[in-house]
Amino acid sequence: MKKIIYFLFVSLIIVQACKSKENKESDSSSSSNEKKEEKKESEETSKKGYWTAKHEQDFIKACEGEIMSLKDTPDGKAIQATGVDIDEFAKKACSCALDKVEQTYENVSEADKDTNGINEIAQGCAKEVMKK
């Protein structure tokens, strides 16, 4: 039962991290429209299978931030009571999610449009991390 709760919790966190990153991008999109016009053509953009280092770092930071924000909540304490190190879990789960999301989507905006796909990735990563 604890593993099922843990698994569902992880899935929701990873999905929320993707949405959180998308929301931050959309909030800044109005001011960044002007910046995009000034963007150099030679500047790197993310592609399926190869996101820029900045986009990867942003994804990991958002994902780990979402998981770590729950550390001192009742849900986080319940998970820690099962013997899970949330810090280590956040690193492993978010790394797994980044690898799979990056291979599947052009960018976070595209990933955010596919809730079912993100849920499958989150569930797969939760299973992988729990097995280890």
Tell me the pLDDT tens digit for each residue of 83-114.
888 889 889 999 999 999 999 998 877 887 88
Choice among 20-24, 38-42, 101-105, 107-111 with the minimum mean pLDDT: 38-42
Tell me the pLDDT tens digit for each residue of 27-37.
555 445 444 44
14-26 average pLDDT score: 57
How high does pLDDT run on average in the chain?
75
The SS3 call for residue 73 is: coil
Tell me the pLDDT tens digit for each residue of 72-81.
898 888 878 8
Integer CA distances (angstroms), 13 to 20, 39, 74, 77, in order? 10, 33, 15, 15
- DSSP one-letter code for 48: T
Query: For position 96, what pLDDT does the model report?
Result: 94
Q: What is the model's pTM?
A: 0.68
Residue 126 has pLDDT above 90, yes or no: no
Provide the b/e sequence for 47-78 (b: ≥16 CB within 10 Å). Answer: eeeebeeebbebbbebbbebbeebeeeeebee
